[in-house]
């Protein structure tokens, strides 16, 4: 299959590596946002060639959008104009704004809205890695609006990447992603900013930073180009998640301020229930 990957960064590059290795892609065309990144992707052998968006879409069998969600929304209507038999999919962290952007497009059914729940805090083609998706969950959304053969192609794609498939409507995806993905990014950004601010009066503050800090602040390395539009597109759900989180934080703060050890012990013990979820 001839696969075109739009956005040859961490996600697009990692997909390319796995699809080539598995033989799923017999030809790989890349579309990059800058000549410099495209050149790196070529040198790394992630794709066979780099071309324009229109050429890539017209010649490919499968078009994968691995770009920030604002660019998906902006690009998708035009892109579907160039489509007849091709399957088009995206890998963005929001789904509602994306399906809304093409709700009445005559080629809507060639598009499959998807979100593979994988990534790292790094970006760009040099961050691409094999088996990034293996064992993780891919969400497919609003499949009733997609043609059965297009859905089959995308199911094959994610099966090839070693992912477990789950199906949700776009609104439910966005709400769930707000809690388990977007909120963790917000709180990690807030933590990084808090300690960086403290560093201004306490220059050695990071000397004691160990594994716990690294774990909770890791997501704060994530790029603004990717995350700014996610927070905008999923604003309502993200704000609801932040508000629920602020209440929990306040509850813990109150117990600490009151010196109420019994209460604090209960709150922590309840939080420990997360062991059910985290191996």
Site for a second copy in 178-237 (CB under 8 A): 179-181, 183-198, 202, 204-224, 227-229, 231-232, 235
CB count in 10 Å sphere of residue 87: 24
94-123 residues near a second copy, rule: CB under 8 A: 117-120
Q: Are 127 and 9 in contact (CB under 8 A)?
A: yes
Tell me if 74 contacts a second copy by CB under 8 A. Answer: no
Total site size for a second copy, rule CB under 8 A: 89
Exactly one of 42, 137, 147, 171 binds a second copy (CB under 8 A); which one? 137
**Three-state SS across 54-75?**
HHHHHHCCEEEECCCHHHHHHH
Cα radius of gyration rounded to whole Å, the chain: 21
Q: What is the maximal distance between C-alpha atoms in the chain?
A: 67
Nearer to a second copy, 26 or 228 (CB): 228
The distance of closest approach from Cβ of residue 76 to a second copy in the complex, given in angstroms and rounded to an integer, is 20
Task: Please report how close the Cβ of residue 39 comes to a second copy at its closest, in angstroms.
Answer: 24
Answer yes or no: are the C-beta atoms of 1 and 61 closer than 8 Å. Answer: yes
Taking the least distance from each CB to a second copy, the nearer of 56 and 237 is 237
**Positive or negative CA dihedral for 78, 147, 113, 68?**
negative
Interaction between residue 253 and a second copy (CB under 8 A): yes
Interface with a second copy, residue 161, by CB under 8 A: no
8-16, 42-50, 152-160, 172-180 -> range binding a second copy (CB under 8 A):
172-180
- The residue (of 104 and 275) whose beta carbon lies closer to a second copy is 275
Binding residues for a second copy restricted to 40-69, rule: CB under 8 A: none
Give just the sign of the alpha carbon dihedral 279, 226, 234, 87: negative
> Of 2, 74, 166, 171, which one interacts with a second copy (CB under 8 A)?
166
Judged by CB under 8 A, does residue 265 bind a second copy? yes
Tell the smallest beta-carbon distance from residue 27 to a second copy (Å): 30
The C-alpha atoms of residue 1 and residue 251 are separated, in whole angstroms, by 54
Burial code of 3-39, b = ≥16 C-beta within 10 A, e = fewer?
bbbbbbbbbbbbbbbbbbeeebbeebbbbbeeeebbe
């Amino acid at each position: 299959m001839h696969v075109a990957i739009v956005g040859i960064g961490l996600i697009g590059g990692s997909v390319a590596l796995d699809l080539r290795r598995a033989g799923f892609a017999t030809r790989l065309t890349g579309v990059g946002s800058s000549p410099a990144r495209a050149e790196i992707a070529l040198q790394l052998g992630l794709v066979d060639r780099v071309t324009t968006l229109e050429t890539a879409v017209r010649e490919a069998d499968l078009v994968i959008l691995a770009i920030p969600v604002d660019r998906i929304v902006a690009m998708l209507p035009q892109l579907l104009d160039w489509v007849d038999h091709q399957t088009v999919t995206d890998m963005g962290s929001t789904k509602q704004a994306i399906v809304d952007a093409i709700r009445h497009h005559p080629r809507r059914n060639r598009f499959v809205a998807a979100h593979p729940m994988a990534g790292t805090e790094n970006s760009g083609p040099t961050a691409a890695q094999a088996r990034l998706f293996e064992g993780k969950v891919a969400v497919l959304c609003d499949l009733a609006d997609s043609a059965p053969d297009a859905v089959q192609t995308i199911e094959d794609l994610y099966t090839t990447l070693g992912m477990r498939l789950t199906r949700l409507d776009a609104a439910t995806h966005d709400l769930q992603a707000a809690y388990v993905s977007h909120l963790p990014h917000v709180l990690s950004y807030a933590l990084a900013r808090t300690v960086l601010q403290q560093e201004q009066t306490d220059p050695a503050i990071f000397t004691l930073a160990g594994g716990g800090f690294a774990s909770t602040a890791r997501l704060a390395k994530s790029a603004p180009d990717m995350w700014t539009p996610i927070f905008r597109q999923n604003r309502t759900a993200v704000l609801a998640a932040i508000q629920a989180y602020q209440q929990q934080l306040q509850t813990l703060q109150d117990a600490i301020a009151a010196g109420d050890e019994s209460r604090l012990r209960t709150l922590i013990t309840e939080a420990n229930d997360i062991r059910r979820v985290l191996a």
